[in-house]
Structure 1
């Protein structure tokens, strides 16, 4: 095996953000080779500057802690000797690298790493569904402990561990996906293209992830089909409720059972009911028990609409799995959304073929290549797109013309819809989509949690907000006459029109 590069994962704590004035007060370096942490370096750094109060609060570094620490000039050569042959890595690398280079320069040391990787860029590619790429929040989401954030040694070590997770993830990708990532990475800000080139060159087919399907040049994880689930229970609603409460160790509540009975009765008699329930009264379990009993009795689906995504996730990831465990059954429950909320592989193919060199778009392409190997739903909101990426993608969705033999995740859900026992949506999707989408029409009964919020969502559906980010994006598409955008093309066409009208040869 070729010699593996060494990565120096660096984090600095400083007295402020101005590299020309502020100084380093702590440095942490974690060294990684071949996906293993091989060494650490850490030092407090003495400064004659006053450490601002907010920096002390942020880092828990107080001035007296630096009294016995060396000045940077006393450790500069040692630090340089450790990192000079390494790939320089940091989270939001521009800050740490510029600060360190300025500090070295004051010590008459010229430092220019041959390769630089920004883990902020790397982690966006490797973990495309994360809501935040702040180190603390990302570490928590990935289950990596970070006991003392904003301390250089802890941050460097945690960054290194997440980087190893990302590298391990990339190593098992299909060779075609690696090649696509390599070509796209040439448009990134930092030198990830060298890393992906080595991934292609050293590809080990025996480690490649399995169970994938292929659409054109895209490898993807095929969404699972629902199995037909026959749920049987010998007993009435009271017995069902009692069983769930006993096995799950819930508190028995008379008012909760009463609410479940009301909901069940209205479902059975195809009638409507308005129920006022106090916060914390356990209404979620009540209407879940009623919905399940209704399905057991009639075999018909029930739609549940919630006010928040948090409650959606609670129902899907906590409440329903507990009921499954209590009854030893498998309730087919899934999120129901609009068709435009789900991806099609043809759309991804079209995005990948877009020849734009825009940074955010190329980053999005790389994220899509990773995400499509992981998602089981094709729900676009899993990507948490923001800003220019979101606007670009929405534009692509609006203008996309389905291609022959396209695979659309919405159609997959529709094919499996007859096997869904409980559909879960939110008020916004319910109001926006239900009149025009057949998937919603399959559900004859709908339980609306926190129905008093429906008017707010109805108003939102009736208006279209157009903010600063939208205007900025649209102006960016129009461009100026100096760049290759829409305005220049219009200007050129207008000049041609004038020349033709005046019969002046070009």
Structure 2
């Protein structure tokens, strides 16, 4: 049975070697999975506690003035920690600090294994918004009455640690084995938790888990897409009145008018319409309520925001609250470009690669992703906390080709779009993946912030060329021509000279063009239209 000492320290500063000292020590002892004792000590640090730390902890100089000095309690602390695994939330700070203090006071080395609950939390809860102890305890409903006091923090960390161990035990042996491949890169002895749990579980699985490309995934991820819509329609104006009556929305005449206008435009045969709405007029809720009334599988509605951030905000801050408040059954699907979705085949290749090229950051990211794919239904990498976002790794494991089938999550996202009466996306996706629309009934498209749409078109249609390589190539060819001309046949010499001349012409053309750009004489292919002119120039089925 493994024994743990979960500790937390409150100190006058971050560096023991610079003279900072402990003024509170908290410790919770765990034998196996059972908490057996709590210890909380105030300690006189023999120096003033900085004012900002007093504000943070609520501990004043007066509170520790009559407390024992560290050397008076050092042996008690040493005996508590000896022969136990030391656990802390950021053990990279608490571990070395308490070891240095004990060595100075007693002349004894505390040599114990170290486990970090921050890294364990990053693996166990890959989608958490924050890994601060106070945020985790609030999210997980762990009792934590006195944040930033050592005793309360140690108790909360102990409960968090036990909760994470329980969750890790629920993972399959397949996932646990994959985790142990990278656990050696974690801080101290943190990775031994996975080896310990794997040994406990034994070799046989007690339940079946869905597998994709050798990874255990969520049962909901492999479930065939079947979106069911309620036959009962949501009357937009009645729904609006309910939201006003409940205090969810403020009653605005402009919002009511906009709902009616959008509904009528959706029904018209005219291909293109513009609505200009001033800030604060409530256009978002107006077009959402109209969409909920008019959308169907036969006549789907796409709501297109200008960027990913606004797309996410629309889903979280507007769509989800309306669905909850009005108990709407109409499915709403949010879709992004394919690079946002994990490709399990590519992830498998990356795991083999990084088993040979290990690093602490990539190992932590891979371990978090291994847990995440057992939970995610969408495979959208943006669900994960940014601490797991390693740019090179994520580029390697994301879906590359939108038209290539065989990627579990991307295929499911596309299938969901083709069944959903309401789709939320962004300008870039609409432009790049408009071909998806051709596979189904053409949707009504509500483009928000349409003034930004031209910029998205421009970005999509822009190709960047690096001309520096051209000059390097010309110089290399020229050198090669001079060095080899005595070995050329007449025909080879002529071809080489012609190639060199063409390269020089291209370089000269580039320099002329670049000078024109600098002097402002370049031609423009971008024009500013009035809404009526733009309407006349575009032929598509949009609202």
**TM-score interval w.r.t. the shorter chain?**
0.7 to 0.9
1:248-327 alignment runs, 5 A limit? 253-269=252-268, 270-279=271-280, 281-295=281-295, 299-305=299-305, 308=310, 309-323=312-326, 325=327
Asked if 1:219 is matched to 2:219, the reply is: no
Call closer, same or farther: CA 1:131–1:209 in 2, change over 3 Å: farther
Structure 1 residues 142 and 304: CA distance shift in structure 2, 3 A:
farther
1:389 aligns with 2:390: yes
Q: Which has the larger radius of gyration?
A: 2
Residue 138 of structure 1 corresponds to: 136
CA contact (8 A) 1:84 1:111 kept: no
Q: Which residue of 1 aligns with 2:521?
A: none
1:45 and 1:70 in contact (8 A); partners too: yes
1:445, 1:306 → 2: CA distance?
A: 17
Correspondence 1:362 to 2:363: yes
Q: CA offset at residue 217 of structure 1?
A: 2.3
Distance 2:129 2:296 in 1: 38
Listed one character per residue, the Cα deviations across residues 12-49 of structure 1 (whole Å, up to 9, x for unaligned) are 11111221211101111122334343321101111221
Cα pair 2:255 2:282 within 8 Å, conserved: yes
Q: Secondary structure at the match of 1:434?
A: helix
The equivalent of 1:422 in structure 2 is 422
Which residue number in structure 1 is paired with residue 76 of structure 2? 78
Following superposition, the deviation at residue 232 of structure 1 comes to 3.0
- The structural deviation recorded for 1:319 is 1.8
Taking the aligned partners of 1:25 and 1:227, their CA distance within structure 2 comes to 59
Is the alpha carbon distance of 1:57 and 1:241 closer, same or farther for their aligned partners in structure 2, counting shifts above 3 Å?
closer
Provide the secondary structure at the position in 1 that maps to 2:284: helix
Matched residues in 2 for 1:194 and 1:134: separation? 23
| 1:9 maps to which of 6, 10, 27 | 6
The one-character-per-residue Cα deviations of 1:448-480 (angstroms, maximum 9, x if unpaired) are 445566678778879999xxxxxxxxxxxxxxx
1:332 and 2:335 matched: no
- Cα deviation per residue 1:290-342 (whole Å; 9 max; x = unaligned)? 0022115963233242662333212343222333x2xxx52111211001111
Q: 2:231 matched to 1:232?
A: yes
What is the CA RMSD across the aligned residues, in angstroms? 3.3
Q: Taking structure 1 as the reference length, what is the TM-score of the superposition?
A: 0.79
Rounded to whole Å, the distance in 2 between the matches of 1:282 and 1:401 is 38
Q: How does 1:118-133 map to 2 (within 5 A)?
A: 118-133=116-131
The structure-2 alpha-carbon separation of the partners of 1:89 and 1:253, relative to structure 1 and needing over 3 Å to count, comes to: same
Q: 1:120 offset after TM fit, Å?
A: 1.6
Distance 2:274 2:413 in 1: 30
**8 Å CA contact retained: 2:341, 2:410:** yes
TM-score normalised to structure 2 length: 0.74
1:71-129: per-residue Cα shift (whole Å, max 9, x none)?
A: 11111111111111211011111211111111111222424343110112111111112
Question: Aligned equivalents of 1:394 and 1:363: distance in 2?
Answer: 16
Tell me, in whole angstroms, the C-alpha distance in 1 between the residues paired with 2:325 and 2:75.
59
Q: Is the 8 A contact 1:301 1:422 kept in 2?
A: yes
Looking at structure 2, the residues matched to 368 and 234 of structure 1 have their Cα atoms a distance apart, in angstroms, of: 40
Specify every segment of 5 or more residues in structure 2 that has no aligned partner in the other structure, as ranges: 465-543
Per the alignment, residue 25 of structure 2 pairs with 27
Distance in 2 separating the partners of 1:151 and 1:140: 16
Q: By how many angstroms is 1:134 displaced? A: 2.2
In structure 2, the partner of 1:172 is 170
Alpha-carbon offset, residue 10 of structure 1: 0.9
Q: Provide closer, same or farther for how the CA distance between residues 35 and 264 of structure 1 changes in structure 2, counting only shifts above 3 A.
A: farther
Q: Match of 1:493?
A: none
Aligned equivalents of 2:451, 2:348: Cα separation in 1: 42
Deviates further, 445-454 or 281-290 = 445-454
Give structure 1 stretches of 5+ with no counterpart: 466-506
For residues 207-261 of structure 1, the C-alpha deviation after alignment (integer angstroms, 9 at most, x for no partner) is 9676x31123211114244434343347864345446666897665443322211
Residue aligning to 2:37: 39
